[in-house]
Amino acid sequence: GAGVGETAIVEGLAQEVTKGNVPEILREKRVITLDLALMVAGTKYRGQFEERIKAVMDEIRRAKNIILFIDELHTIVGAGSAEGTMDASNIIKPALSRGEMQCVGATTINEYRKYIEKDAALERRFQSVKVEPPSIEDAIDILKGLRPRYEDHHKMDLTDAAVTAAVKLSDRYITGRFLPDKAIDIMDEAGARARIKAMTRPPEVKNLELAIEETRIKKEKAIKDQKFEEAASMRDEEKKAKEELENTLTEWKKSNEDARVKVDEDEIMYVVAKWTGIPLKRMGQGDVQKLLSMEKEISKIVIGQSLAVETLCKALRRSRADLKDPARPIGAFMMLGPTGVGKTLLAKSLAVNMFGDSKSLVQLDMSEYMEKFNVSRLVGSPPGYVGYEEGGQLTEKVRRNPYSVVLFDEVEKAHPDVMNMLLQILEEGKLTDSFGRLVDFRNTIILLTSNVGAERLKKGATMGFTAPDDEQDYERMKENLTEEAKKVFRPEFLNRFDDIVVFRSLGKEELTQILELELAKVEQRLAQRDLHFELDESARDLLRDKGYDPAYGARPMRRAVEKHLEDPMAEEIIRGNLREGETVAISAKDDKLVFIQKKTKAKGKGTKVSS
């Protein structure tokens, strides 16, 4: 693979030959690189390129002690070929088979497969040597060997802990690249970042520059006004300030040249976090508070599901405390329960609270994957099919944003083949896409929602399943739903979840809280137009009665607010009866809401507005 050190091995051989630390047969050899790009450059006429290659061959034959090294060996296939001419690989084949030249090439496995393996005659003339990526211990030793060069370049001191962190963190979090290349890049970037931070000019330099500019403006003004004595004193002042600035800069540069920046583990963590989007830096007080009070924050949005919220928050804390199994996702949960109780909302709230924004939620509606042929959309179409280049809907999103909440909504509607694909994600924390790239799911929370057993719950509503305070009823509901899930999903699928989270049905008290949340949203939208409203108890009761439907959860409440409050209010705004800066008192009369305008800017009698 790229970055494991194929080129470095050949460079190492060249150094050993120079030092003489090689067997006698290699002592007189010289390792020479062939730059194919330079060979092709400037060849205007047919035959010029072949002529140059032939000259190289003759030189190698004559010298007898040359080992030719071609980096990116796959480039010889097709290099310099035009219609009716030979490419570089065909020109050097005879010399290789006759043993007239010794040649070493370096290329990646993918390119070897694509270009060289296809040409069997070329492939058999080379002996392939696979270079595996070094182990973590070896990679740490490699980085320690490179450390002095990077320290001198960036004028930094790299601690042992930073070197170890660069290797271990890159191995764990950066997929798709190889050691030691990715660890070297992290070490380099951390050094560059620390150096740039240290190179910031001191504030006194900025102050002096401002003072010089000010004096120059005053001097020019004095010249304009023909106050030449004042202008002369200003000139002297400017000259003095410039000298002071020169001295300050020289002093600062001198002290900065000798000063070395210390790069520790935290700098490395910062760089890896920037690359991957995964929060690795040590938790500040704010992060600790956020983690500890997460249940409280999410429970303000997801009403009446304290147990479900608590289960998910515990998984997140486990992950941030580094106690989770590194080979599995942060958490995998199946969320069961009646419709409209907050299953999807909890996933969205979790993304916003933990990962910072709603973009960290990868939501897949499983009703789109009901047919067998739709399953391939998750990982991408197979080669040769339309859409192959686009990649998979699931794999691409997670590859771009590896630290996220992945929500499979209404999973019982998906084709059984989707479940087989999910088995691998839930257990191994990885999935291979249609390009053969490994997509890492170890830093995601996997949530599946299902309405399995919702019908049974509706039938059982009379038996008291809807009473959220009755623990016995909740346990019975949980048992019923788990039984239903076992009928629909295979045991090996259910067995891979950390927990099956059952959501309660919502009672009157919870729906009242949801009504308040919906009203707050309307208030927020109206506030942008400088309109405000006040609902009295009768209006609240009306909305509560219209929106109360335990079988369908919170959605009827939202619809009731839309139909009975937002729709009539929208009409009044369009008619011009409600204007900016006014507050509307809302009351209930004859089974509908009545709006009474209150003047807030100028005191006056309220005017009644019909709904």
Q: Which domains does the chain have, with CATH numbers?
A: 6-123 (3.40.50.300), 135-282 (1.10.8.60), 285-502 (3.40.50.300), 508-609 (1.10.8.60)
> What 3-state class would DSSP assign to 81?
coil
Confidence of residue 65 (pLDDT cuts 50, 70, 90): confident
Helix %, strand %, coil % of the chain (to 5): 55, 10, 30
User: Would you say 468 and 428 are in contact if contact means Cβ atoms under 8 Å apart?
Assistant: no
* Mean of all residue pLDDT scores within the chain: 77
Task: Collect contacts of 15-24 with beta carbons under 8 A, ≥24 apart.
Answer: none
Type of residue found at 281? K
Query: What are the DSSP calls for 493-521, one per residue?
Result: HHTTSSEEEEPPPP-HHHHHHHHHHHHHH
CA 40-41-46 angle, 5° bins: 55
Average of per-residue pLDDT across 435-447: 84
Confidence of residue 82 (pLDDT cuts 50, 70, 90): low
Average of per-residue pLDDT across 343-349: 81
What is the phi/psi pair of residue 602, to 5°? Answer: -120, 130
Confidence of residue 608 (pLDDT cuts 50, 70, 90): very low
Query: Which stretch, 188-192, 352-356, 431-435, has highest mean pLDDT?
Result: 188-192
Average of per-residue pLDDT across 224-233: 76
Closest by Cα among 28, 31, 51, 30 to 39: 51
- pTM (2 d.p.): 0.67
* 438 compared with 353, residue with greater pLDDT: 438
Predicted confidence (pLDDT) per residue in 21-43, tens digit: 778 777 788 888 888 788 778 77
Average of per-residue pLDDT across 180-193: 87
pLDDT value at residue 80:
60
pLDDT value at residue 470:
58
Lowest-pLDDT choice from 292-306, 449-463, 476-490, 517-531 = 449-463
Exposed/middle/buried for residue 373 (C-beta within 10 Å: 0-12, 13-18, 19+): exposed
pLDDT value at residue 551:
67
pLDDT value at residue 81:
63
Confidence of residue 430 (pLDDT cuts 50, 70, 90): confident
Confidence check: pLDDT of 294 > 70: yes
Type of residue found at 599? K
Tokens of 471: 């623990």
pLDDT value at residue 466:
45
pLDDT value at residue 314:
80
Confidence check: pLDDT of 410 > 80: yes
Confidence of residue 591 (pLDDT cuts 50, 70, 90): confident
DSSP, res 566: I
Confidence of residue 286 (pLDDT cuts 50, 70, 90): low
User: Would you say 264 and 227 are in contact if contact means Cβ atoms under 8 Å apart?
Assistant: no
User: Would you say 429 and 440 are in contact if contact means Cβ atoms under 8 Å apart?
Assistant: yes
pLDDT value at residue 607:
42
Average of per-residue pLDDT across 267-279: 81
Report in angstroms the alpha-carbon separations of 409 from 344, 361, 406, 443: 7, 12, 10, 20
Average of per-residue pLDDT across 64-73: 83
pLDDT value at residue 258:
67
Task: Name the one residue in this structure whose structure tokens are 């909890």.
Answer: 346
Q: How far apart (Å, rounded) are the C-alpha atoms in residues 234 and 454?
A: 86
pLDDT value at residue 606:
43
* 387 compared with 163, residue with greater pLDDT: 163
Confidence of residue 605 (pLDDT cuts 50, 70, 90): very low
CA 24-12-271 angle, 5° bins: 165
Confidence of residue 471 (pLDDT cuts 50, 70, 90): low
Task: Name the one residue in this structure whose structure tokens are 């409280």.
Answer: 296
Q: Can you name the residues that pair with 69 across neighbouring β-strands?
A: 33, 104
Confidence check: pLDDT of 97 > 70: yes
CA dihedral 194, 196, 198, 204 (to 10 degrees): -160
